[in-house]
Amino acid sequence: MMLKKRFLALICGVIFSFGFAPFDLWLLSVLSVAVLIGLLDKSSNKEAFLVGYAFGFGMWLSGISWLYVSIHYHGNIGIIGSSFIVLLFISILSLYSGFLFLLNNVFKSLSPKKLIFLTLPVAWVLMEFLRSYLFTGFPWLISGTMLADTFIDGYTPIIGAQGNSFFLILLSVSVYKLYENITENRTPLLFSLFVLLILMPSYFLKSVEWTSAENEIHVTLYQPNLTLEDKWSQYGIIKSQGMMEKAIEDASEGDLIVFPETALILSENDNKAFMNLVRSKSFEKNITLITGIIEREDDYKIRNRLQTLGAMEDVYDKIKLVPFGEFIPLEKYLGSFLDIIGLNLTNTLPGEAVKSIKTGKLRISPSICYEIAFDELIRKTAKDSNILLTVSNDTWFGRSIGPIQHLEIAQNRALEHKKPLIRSTNSGITAFVSKNGEIIERQTYFEDKTLTRNITLYSGNTFYSKYGNLPLLIFLTLYSTIKAARKKIAKARTEYCIDPVRATKKPKINIPRTTAICSVTL
């Protein structure tokens, strides 16, 4: 029976992952969690952990299987080695889900029956927060991101994607309670109304205009469409530089031109003649050209950089680096092991400051690749911007679902701040995203095509832009603190509980013997 529960939890985890792009079956995700709640009914703490672990394993197995592509095909590691690394990573990530449902069990034991429906949403969001920041953070497959560009994404400018996770799981709990009422021949009216009460405000909030139109600019996004082998070759250097020169020739005065992450693999010092040429031609036309570039330091370290040329000269260095891709966590201990399995990793230096890029009427919130997943990092510059920009090189993941998930995360950042987002990648998926999180236009994988259109810039701030996750964190902290206090009080009362008939020890406080003091409902 226990094994059957864990297997069903594993299947629920796989189904839950279908709520994310490219499947977007978020209703199935809601139902999968509702089924999981039924499986966990009256489970012990140990069983709750194991069932939760199985659920997490299924979700990650299906949701981040694309990691295999980069490790096997581009890391030059065999099938067995690549599979082992991916499964090891999934096994570690699944611990979060195990502890999530263990925490839910603890909260349930400390909650009055009428508030027990809050325990799972609170535990879920607490664990997603922990995963987003612990050990440099891995904020991928944050549950609330699957609601971007749906009919119930109206809460996003208020509570963000993290808050949407609470909303999504609360919906799952409500669906389960609705089912429970029906099967027990009780009227489901109350929970039917509750489900509607959750959904309807989000739908109507979609029409709220948090930001206002400011200016308009013509933007051109380039997708060089180079294989990784070509990109890091002389051919790739020549093609990329030729595309930039042509882009400037074809542009009109005041345009914004964007090339992807590391479009230029030669640093400024190694390629001065070309950089000066681009700078001069862009300046003459009052064009702003932004490109990814590798900046090499004197000590052989590198920085992953966005460089602005032409109408404005500025740089932004990537802050949040990819673990095991751009730097080695705990290198002192893991370096020799990674050498053995053959991963040739480069230590990249992180940027020194989170900053926006300002040029003329443009106030750009920049991010490079993985950074777009960190909502608070983006918020630091997005609240003062009028457009969001992210560049990436998702060629590492081929035609897998990884790049589509990456784009979905970017949609949430646009929706959180109600400002347009532009995304340029090496081989897909380059896209224009509206302030409502809708994909206006996009390229497909490995498509050699240029996207160009007029983009309206928006100023102002949403509630989320102003306060971020702070209100949600305050609520979660207060909830957890109250639960911890209740547990402490319950323990203290138990110590002083006296049964006048079967007392086995002297009371620690002076209480009349004629009164039986036992457990108090907390």
R_g of the chain, CA atoms, integer Å: 26
Told to judge if 506 belongs to the known catalytic residues of this protein, a careful annotator would answer no
Phi, psi torsion values for 134, nearest 5 degrees: -70, 135
**What are 390's two structure tokens?**
């992210």
Pairing of strands 387-392, 256-258: unpaired
DSSP 335-388: HHHHHHHT-----BPPPS----EEETTEEEEEEEGGGGG-HHHHHHHHTT-SEE
The dihedral of CA 259, 415, 144, 31: what is its sign? Answer: negative
**b/e sequence 374-413, b meaning 16+ C-beta within 10 Å:** bbebbbebbbebbbbbbbbbbbbbbebbbbbbbbbbbbbb
Told to judge if 369 belongs to the known catalytic residues of this protein, a careful annotator would answer yes
Q: Mutual orientation of helices 272-284 and 234-250 as an angle, nearest 10°? A: 10
**How many other CB atoms sit within 10 Å of the CB of residue 436?**
17
Of 128, 261, 295, 326, catalytic: 261
Distance (Å, whole) CA 492 – CA 490:
5
Distance from the Cα of residue 229 to its chain's centroid: 29
**How many other CB atoms sit within 10 Å of the CB of residue 4?**
9
- Angle formed at CA 90 by CA 142 and CA 344, multiple of 5 degrees: 105
Of 128, 281, 295, 369, catalytic: 369
DSSP 306-323: EEEEES--EEEE--SPPB
Q: For 137-142, which contacts have Cβ atoms below 8 Å and span 24 or more sequence positions?
A: 137/320, 137/374, 138/93, 138/323, 139/373, 139/374, 139/375, 140/63, 140/64, 140/373, 140/405, 140/409, 141/17, 141/20, 141/59, 141/60, 141/63, 141/64, 141/405, 142/373
Read off the DSSP letter of residue 138: -
Of 108, 231, 318, 418, catalytic: 318
The dihedral of CA 181, 182, 188, 192: what is its sign? Answer: positive
Contacts (Cβ under 8 Å, ≥6 apart) of 406: 372, 392, 394, 429
Told to judge if 497 belongs to the known catalytic residues of this protein, a careful annotator would answer no
Helix (H) / strand (E) element for 105: namely helix 79-109
In contact, 419 and 465? CB cutoff 8 Å: no
Distance (Å, whole) CA 117 – CA 175:
11
Which residue is listed with tokens 């990819």?
Answer: 322
Distance (Å, whole) CA 279 – CA 7:
59
Q: Which of 454, 384, 453, 388 is nearest to 423 (CA)?
A: 388
Residue type, 247: A
The residues that are catalytic are 261, 318, 369
